[in-house]
């Protein structure tokens, strides 16, 4: 009872009945309160006195028991208690929470009531948080918003409670609309988005400003697009080829391409000494360019390469895409502002790596953590020499670290964060959104100056603090993008955050819905929140509707994909319902002899606090205790259960009940036949090459899926499990044969390989970076020559076409000496251990001819006039207008 009372104040809503006489006044916040301050003051007082009164009650234990022996006291307590419960129940009802708090039939103990209160508090606080964010100009629902086709007043006000200038315009400034029918930019992307359940591999394929060359895996990327499954071999073999190919590159594939350069980055002296802050130009007098063509982008790159610093920011969209989309890049120099359409130029943006990775040019960001990841993920861009004003703000211990705050403090500019979560996919961009975006970088260089000066000042002129900000910023630029990976345990993490206790049926349903949602989101390239918001997923799991209509009823509004697939969802719920009913926590206790998670702990943090709790906190079950059967996502698949289990035990993954703890099933080596052991070994050879890079050691990615980045992951994984054993055995046979054959072939191929390697080594000598090209492209070799060793001899202009074609074209021997390896001709003889593997490695010199043929069909004019060129050089005399030659990717 006492705890409930304490809870009450936090969950209490603004009381409506405090109106005074002057409630008619127009400007009143709500009846009786003329502004927020008055309201807060009053409510705070009420909360304080309630808390005080609650604390003044007789303490539990002796004191309370003594008082309770008086019937009067008892009566009073009961009536007050009832009143309170009624009041709480009303509040909870008001918020649509479960509110049978007074229902003695449904609830037995204080504990359950307490749970209800905690749940409701979560909901209410969450809602309050959202409203506060909204008031602050942020929409946490991530619903895309856009301005409602009107020009807002020129003076923008950051939020409704900061400065209510002219009361007339107030509602207008705040009016935002959902953007409907925005064309999906993904459709126009030259490279398809890769939503597969495989780790992210950097997009980079050319590396300017390199101290360490780009691993061959990336520079040969184009060639590897020829995927093994396109070849005419059985699926399992295609997997095998793919695995062999990728395994040797695993290290490179997941390293930060500029790790070495960043590790060896030293901050220039001039950047550690006190700067004279250079005032920003007034926005009105600053030229603004909108860049959506390759030509302009190249020109911008040229410009940036001549500077010693520029400011960068990105705008992002995450609702109608699985991984998210970088929609806009803002760049400000001391003189100019640029807005770049990164949707339009997505495949070309990598050009900017020349400036972005130049260690002599400072890139100023504010809070670059996400930006660094988005740059990698969508644009293949990296940052060397970053200054993050957010890190500086932390080091300076400023009151707040938002850009808003810095703008106010250093520039006395009231910024407007209303469009932060606008739908940045909209094209053409409305003027006010452009202005908003522009303001994010326009002042940043000046702020950078001021902050460096302050960092030195506050440290008595010593560079230590400033240096630490440079270091922290470097750490930010070292961040690597990590793709969301679905594992069979992912749902537990989400479930744990909800702090709902599910029974086995509910948990199974939740798991199936989670898998369905993830699969569909990847497939349709939508966010999981768009497919089925988490709170709806929880509602469905809790209610386990018997009818499809019941599922619809759990969702308001009904997500389009839920409506579309309601029957599938219904099947999933039915599967959940088929589970034997068991309360999760009880099962866990029984098994482990553990006490369940302490309630008191749970109440101390809010729904967004993920800082607490660990993996080990979720209830763990064992299949021993609970006779359950696995709910299946793809029930339509044929399940062959009548196969001799003995025979297949080595081939099939043990039936795994993922809701429950995975059983340690050490294979009983003794009892296995030779064939079984062999089969085991083969299966072990299929170990996921990405596994060590997966987020948690317990992560489980389906065995088949992991070889194939473009496959639909768990469809395959389920099929794998359910696949008929004969088929698997057949494949094993084929593989065995292939191995034998490959051995024979290996010798023959190794000769060819040695040759290929030789030629490749030689060709590598000719590789230069974009930067070097650029250096040479400038006849005067102006600023850009700095720090360059001048590798190349020629001075051609950089050409994108050639960067790529160079991969194909470079060679030091006549193309004819090597034939591209053709799997279809090989009789599958390449699958032999380490020796044969090398033969599958692609060599640009060998592949060049073939590849070019594909890319430029018959006689189509190419700009590759001479084959004997370096990786990135354009042959022949360069001309002024070389920019136009950067081809589209």
- Which residues of the chain form contacts with ligand AMP (CB under 6 A)? 138, 313-316, 420-421, 424, 440
Give the C-alpha separation, 59 to 16, whole Å. Answer: 33
DSSP classification of residue 153: P
Of the pair 313, 435, the CB lying nearest ligand AMP is at: 313
Give the C-alpha separation, 137 to 157, whole Å. Answer: 10
Of the pair 420, 711, the CB lying nearest ligand AMP is at: 420
Give which of Zn ion, Mn ion, ligand AMP, none residue 239 binds (C-beta under 5 to 8 Å, depending on kind).
Answer: none
> What is each CA distance from 344 to 390, 666, 703, 777, 804, in whole angstroms?
29, 54, 37, 27, 20
Task: Enumerate the H helices of 703-842 as residue ranges.
Answer: 713-722, 725-765, 770-777, 800-809, 833-840
Least distance in Å: CB of 193 to ligand AMP?
A: 17
**For Mn ion, which residue has the nearest CB?**
313
Q: β-pairing, 287-291 with 336-341?
A: parallel
Give which of ligand AMP, Zn ion, Mn ion, none residue 243 binds (C-beta under 5 to 8 Å, depending on kind).
Answer: none
Binding to Zn ion (CB under 5 A): which residues in 713-742? Answer: none
Give which of ligand AMP, Mn ion, Zn ion, none residue 316 binds (C-beta under 5 to 8 Å, depending on kind).
Answer: ligand AMP
Least distance in Å: CB of 278 to Zn ion?
A: 22
* Residues 307 and 361 sit within 8 Å (Cβ to Cβ): yes
Among 540, 491, 419, CA closest to 174? 419
Which range binds Mn ion by CB under 5 A, 118-126, 132-140, 279-287, 312-320? 312-320
Q: Which of 344, 373, 388, 440 is in the footprint of Zn ion by CB under 5 A?
A: 440
Give the C-alpha separation, 534 to 514, whole Å. Answer: 9
Which range binds Zn ion by CB under 5 A, 56-64, 308-316, 367-375, 424-432? 308-316
Residue 717 CB contacts under 8 Å (≥ 6 apart), including other chains: 702, 703, 704, 705
Residue 373 found at the interface with Mn ion (CB under 5 A): no
Of the pair 185, 709, the CB lying nearest Zn ion is at: 185
| DSSP state string for 502-553 | PBHHHHHHHHHHHHHHHHHHHHHT--HHHHS-HHHHHHHHHH--SSHHHHHH
DSSP classification of residue 824: G
Least distance in Å: CB of 124 to ligand AMP?
A: 20
* Residues 625 and 591 sit within 8 Å (Cβ to Cβ): yes
Least distance in Å: CB of 328 to Zn ion?
A: 8
Q: Which of 136, 261, 309, 313 is in the footprint of Mn ion by CB under 5 A?
A: 313
Give the C-alpha separation, 298 to 790, whole Å. Answer: 22
Of the pair 406, 521, the CB lying nearest Zn ion is at: 406
Residue 825 CB contacts under 8 Å (≥ 6 apart), including other chains: none
Least distance in Å: CB of 130 to ligand AMP?
A: 11
Least distance in Å: CB of 365 to ligand AMP?
A: 8
Least distance in Å: CB of 132 to ligand AMP?
A: 12
Of the pair 420, 878, the CB lying nearest ligand AMP is at: 420
Which range binds Zn ion by CB under 5 A, 131-139, 171-179, 224-232, 309-317? 309-317
Q: Which of 115, 313, 525, 815 is in the footprint of Zn ion by CB under 5 A?
A: 313
Give which of Mn ion, ligand AMP, Zn ion, none residue 421 binds (C-beta under 5 to 8 Å, depending on kind).
Answer: ligand AMP
Least distance in Å: CB of 93 to Mn ion?
A: 41
Of the pair 366, 735, the CB lying nearest Zn ion is at: 366
Which range binds Zn ion by CB under 5 A, 307-315, 334-342, 348-356, 762-770? 307-315
Least distance in Å: CB of 294 to ligand AMP?
A: 24
Least distance in Å: CB of 177 to Zn ion?
A: 20
Rounded to a whole number of angstroms, the CA Rg of the chain reads 32
How many CA atoms lie less than 13 Å away from 205 in the CB half-sphere?
Answer: 24
Backbone dihedral angles phi then psi of residue 804, each to the nearest 5 degrees: -80, -45
Site size for Zn ion (CB under 5 A):
2
Q: How far apart are the first and last CA of the chain?
A: 67
Backbone dihedral angles phi then psi of residue 326, each to the nearest 5 degrees: -80, 115
Backbone dihedral angles phi then psi of residue 363, each to the nearest 5 degrees: -105, 120
Least distance in Å: CB of 409 to ligand AMP?
A: 17
Query: What does the buried/exposed string (b/e) look like for 430-443 if buried means 16 or more CB atoms within 10 Å of the residue's CB?
Result: bebbbbbbbbbbbb
Site size for Mn ion (CB under 5 A):
1
How many CA atoms lie less than 13 Å away from 691 in the CB half-sphere?
Answer: 15
Give which of Mn ion, Zn ion, ligand AMP, none residue 731 binds (C-beta under 5 to 8 Å, depending on kind).
Answer: none
Of the pair 122, 440, the CB lying nearest ligand AMP is at: 440
Length of the chain: 889
SS3 category, 156: coil
Give the C-alpha separation, 871 to 16, whole Å. Answer: 73
Give which of Zn ion, Mn ion, ligand AMP, none residue 138 binds (C-beta under 5 to 8 Å, depending on kind).
Answer: ligand AMP
| DSSP state string for 201-270 | -------TT-SSPPPHHHHTHHHHTS-GGGSSS-HHHHHHHHHHHHHTTHHHHHS-TTHHHHHT----GG
Of the pair 4, 420, the CB lying nearest Zn ion is at: 420
Least distance in Å: CB of 364 to Mn ion?
A: 11
Give the C-alpha separation, 441 to 329, whole Å. Answer: 10
Of the pair 124, 146, the CB lying nearest Zn ion is at: 146
Least distance in Å: CB of 317 to ligand AMP?
A: 6
Give which of ligand AMP, Mn ion, Zn ion, none residue 424 binds (C-beta under 5 to 8 Å, depending on kind).
Answer: ligand AMP
Least distance in Å: CB of 368 to ligand AMP?
A: 9
Give which of Mn ion, ligand AMP, Zn ion, none residue 510 binds (C-beta under 5 to 8 Å, depending on kind).
Answer: none
* Residues 584 and 619 sit within 8 Å (Cβ to Cβ): yes
Least distance in Å: CB of 419 to Mn ion?
A: 12
Of the pair 314, 447, the CB lying nearest ligand AMP is at: 314
Give which of Zn ion, Mn ion, ligand AMP, none residue 340 binds (C-beta under 5 to 8 Å, depending on kind).
Answer: none
Which range binds Zn ion by CB under 5 A, 113-121, 432-440, 554-562, 571-579? 432-440
Query: What does the buried/exposed string (b/e) look like for 462-491 if buried means 16 or more CB atoms within 10 Å of the residue's CB?
Result: ebebbebbbebbbebbbbbbebebbbbbbb
Of the pair 440, 525, the CB lying nearest Zn ion is at: 440
Which range binds Mn ion by CB under 5 A, 163-171, 275-283, 287-295, 313-321? 313-321
Within 10 Å of residue 84's Cβ, how many Cβ atoms?
16
Residues of this chain that bind Mn ion (CB under 5 A): 313
Residues of this chain that bind Zn ion (CB under 5 A): 313, 440
């Amino acid at each position: 009872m006492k705890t409930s009372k304490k809870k009450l104040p936090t969950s209490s809503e603004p009381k409506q009945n405090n109106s005074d006489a002057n409630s008619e006044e127009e400007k009143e916040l709500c009846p009786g309160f003329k502004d927020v301050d008055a309201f807060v003051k009053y409510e705070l007082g009420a909360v304080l006195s309630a808390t005080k009164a609650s604390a003044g009650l007789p303490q539990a234990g002796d004191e309370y028991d003594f008082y309770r022996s008086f019937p009067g006291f008892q009566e009073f307590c009961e009536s007050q208690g009832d009143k309170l419960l009624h009041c709480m129940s009303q509040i909870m009802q008001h918020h649509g929470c479960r509110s049978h708090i007074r229902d003695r039939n449904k609830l037995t103990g204080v504990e359950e009531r307490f749970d209800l209160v905690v749940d409701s508090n979560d909901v209410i606080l969450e809602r309050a948080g959202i409203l506060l964010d909204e008031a602050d100009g942020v929409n946490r629902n991530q619903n895309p918003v856009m301005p409602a086709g009107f020009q807002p007043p020129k003076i923008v006000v950051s939020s409704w409670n900061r400065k209510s200038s002219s009361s007339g315009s107030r509602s207008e400034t705040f009016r935002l609309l959902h953007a409907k029918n925005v064309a999906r930019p993904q459709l126009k992307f030259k490279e398809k988005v890769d939503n597969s359940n495989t780790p992210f591999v950097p997009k980079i394929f050319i590396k300017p400003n390199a101290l360490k060359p780009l691993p061959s895996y990336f520079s040969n990327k184009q060639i590897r697009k020829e995927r093994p499954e396109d070849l005419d071999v059985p699926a399992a073999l295609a997997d095998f080829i793919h695995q062999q190919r990728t395994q040797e590159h695993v290290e490179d594939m997941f390293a930060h391409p500029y790790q070495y350069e960043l590790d060896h980055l030293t901050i220039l002296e001039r950047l550690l000494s006190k700067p004279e802050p250079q005032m920003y130009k007034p926005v009105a007098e600053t030229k603004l360019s909108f860049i959506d063509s390759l030509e302009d982008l190249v020109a911008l790159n040229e410009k940036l390469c001549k500077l010693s610093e520029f400011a960068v920011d990105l705008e992002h969209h995450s609702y109608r895409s699985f991984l998210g989309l970088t929609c806009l890049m803002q760049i400000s120099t001391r003189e100019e502002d640029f807005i770049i359409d990164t949707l339009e130029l997505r495949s070309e943006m990598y050009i900017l790596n020349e400036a972005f990775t130049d260690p002599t040019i400072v890139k100023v960001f504010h809070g670059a953590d996400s930006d660094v990841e988005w740059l990698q993920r969508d644009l293949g861009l990296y940052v060397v020499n970053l200054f993050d004003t957010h890190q500086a703000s932390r080091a300076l211990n400023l009151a707040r670290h938002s850009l808003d705050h810095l703008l106010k403090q250093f520039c006395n500019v009231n910024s407007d964060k209303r469009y932060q979560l606008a739908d940045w996919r909209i094209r053409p961009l409305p003027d006010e959104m452009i202005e908003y975006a522009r303001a994010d970088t326009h002042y940043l260089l000046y702020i950078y100056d001021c902050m460096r000066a302050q960092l030195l000042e506050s440290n008595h002129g010593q560079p230590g603090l400033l240096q630490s900000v440079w270091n922290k910023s470097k750490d930010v630029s070292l961040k690597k993008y990590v793709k969301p990976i679905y594992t069979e345990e992912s749902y537990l993490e989400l479930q744990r955050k909800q702090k709902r206790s599910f029974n086995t049926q509910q948990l199974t349903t939740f798991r199936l819905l989670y898998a369905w949602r993830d699969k569909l989101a990847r497939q349709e390239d939508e966010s999981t929140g768009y497919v089925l918001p988490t709170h709806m997923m929880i509602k469905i799991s809790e209610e386990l509707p018997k009818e499809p209509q019941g599922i619809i009823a759990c969702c308001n509004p009904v997500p389009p994909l839920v409506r579309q697939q309601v029957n599938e969802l219904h099947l999933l719920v039915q599967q959940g319902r088929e589970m034997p009913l068991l309360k999760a926590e009880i099962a866990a206790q029984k098994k482990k002899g553990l006490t369940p998670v302490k309630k008191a702990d749970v109440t101390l943090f809010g729904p967004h606090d993920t800082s607490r709790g660990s993996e080990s906190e979720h209830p763990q079950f064992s299949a021993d205790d609970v006779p359950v059967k696995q709910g299946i996502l793809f029930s339509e698949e044929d399940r062959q259960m009548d196969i001799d289990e003995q025979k297949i035990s080595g081939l099939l993954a043990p039936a795994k009940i993922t809701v429950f703890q995975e059983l340690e099933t050490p294979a009983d080596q003794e009892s296995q036949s030779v064939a079984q052991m062999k089969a085991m070994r083969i299966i072990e050879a299929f170990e996921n090459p990405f596994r060590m890079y997966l987020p948690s050691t317990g992560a489980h990615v389906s065995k088949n899926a992991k070889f194939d980045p473009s496959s639909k992951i768990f469809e395959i994984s389920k099929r794998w499990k359910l696949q008929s054993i004969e088929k698997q055995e057949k494949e094993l046979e084929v593989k065995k044969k292939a191995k034998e054959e490959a051995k024979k072939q290996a010798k023959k191929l190794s000769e060819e390989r040695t040759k290929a390697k030789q030629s490749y080594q030689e060709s590598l000598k000719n590789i230069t970076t974009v930067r070097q090209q650029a250096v040479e492209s400038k006849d005067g070799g102006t600023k850009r020559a700095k720090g360059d060793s001048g590798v190349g001899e020629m001075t051609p202009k950089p050409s994108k076409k050639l960067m790529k074609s160079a991969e194909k074209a470079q060679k030091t021997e006549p193309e004819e000496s090597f034939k591209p390896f053709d799997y279809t001709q090989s009789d599958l003889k390449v699958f032999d251990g380490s020796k044969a593997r090398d033969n599958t490695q692609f060599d640009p010199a060998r592949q060049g001819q073939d590849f070019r043929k594909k890319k430029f069909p018959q006689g189509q004019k190419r700009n590759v006039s001479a084959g004997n060129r370096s990786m990135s050089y354009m042959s022949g005399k360069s001309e002024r207008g070389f920019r136009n030659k950067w081809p589209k990717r």
